[in-house]
Amino acid sequence: MIDFDEMIDNYIYRESRPPEIGRYWPSMIGACIRKVWYTYKHPKQIDPELQKIFEMGNIMHNFVVEVLKSEKNPHVTLVDYERPLKIEKKDYTISGRVDDIIMLKRDGKLILIEVKSHKNVDFVKEPARSHKMQLMFYMHVSGIHNGILLYIDKNNMKTKSFEINYKKEEAEKVLKRFYLLDKYLKNDELPVAEAKYEKDIMWMCKFCEYKDKCKKDEK
């Protein structure tokens, strides 16, 4: 009998390489900054089940691209997808890829779309902080100041979307987080465990693979 679970595991396996201090990604900066610090200082192999979740996200995004490209939706034009965006600072680099850029036919308005797969969009009441930060960075770098966070249900393809408008002060806060992360890493200085003290992100501790180490370091 063919073991298809094993075949899938073999296909999606990616050897995990320790991240390089000085190279950062927009998708990471909305997490607890201490957790991000740990991923650089004490890197771990990505859990195979987490790799499957990432792969499912890629599959869902590819589906959204086909929807946006389709002639059945003539009111929008897919301008680009997976467009790389980068900021080069003096001592570090921030780079990522915006999922989709569309243009509304009626007025030529450009919109950035960041796609996130979800196990049940009925429970999505507001966009996640980390996703907003990621999209805010993309809007800042691209100069396209209209954004949409699109959540798509992995079970039934239902969606929930949120319009996100560019705010310079919020973008500057995101950029400052990268500056602080770089400083903490290069000075070997452990950041505050912000998820322990900020009510809206306390849930992150429950799913953090570094929670035991964080407890010890907190003492």
Specify the range with the lowest mean pLDDT, choosing from 54-58, 163-167, 173-177.
Answer: 54-58
Q: State the pLDDT confidence band at 16, using cuts at 50, 70 and 90.
A: low
> The domain at 21-188 falls in which architecture?
Alpha-Beta Complex (3.90)
Q: Which residue has the higher pLDDT, 20 or 56?
A: 20
Q: State the pLDDT confidence band at 170, using cuts at 50, 70 and 90.
A: very high
- Structural domain boundaries of the chain? 21-188
Specify the range with the lowest mean pLDDT, choosing from 26-30, 43-47, 119-123, 144-148.
Answer: 43-47
Give 88's contacts (C-beta < 8 A, 6+ positions apart).
none
pLDDT, averaged across the chain: 93
Burial class (CB in 10 A: 0-12, 13-18, 19+), 123: exposed
Q: Which residue has the higher pLDDT, 186 or 17?
A: 186
184 in Cβ contact with 190 (< 8 Å)? yes
User: pLDDT by residue (tens digit) across 99-137?
Assistant: 999 999 999 999 999 999 999 999 999 999 999 999 999
User: pLDDT by residue (tens digit) across 180-208?
Assistant: 999 999 999 999 999 999 888 999 999 89
Q: What is the pTM of this model?
A: 0.91
116 in Cβ contact with 132 (< 8 Å)? no
- Residue 17, pLDDT > 80, answer no
CA angle, residues 57, 61, 67, in degrees to nearest 5? 150
CA distance 145 to 204: 29
Which tokens in the block code for residue 108?
């030529």
Q: State the pLDDT confidence band at 214, using cuts at 50, 70 and 90.
A: very high
State the sign of the Cα–Cα–Cα–Cα dihedral 35, 36, 42, 48.
Answer: positive
User: pLDDT by residue (tens digit) across 47-83?
Assistant: 777 788 888 888 899 999 999 999 999 999 999 999 9
pLDDT at 53: 82
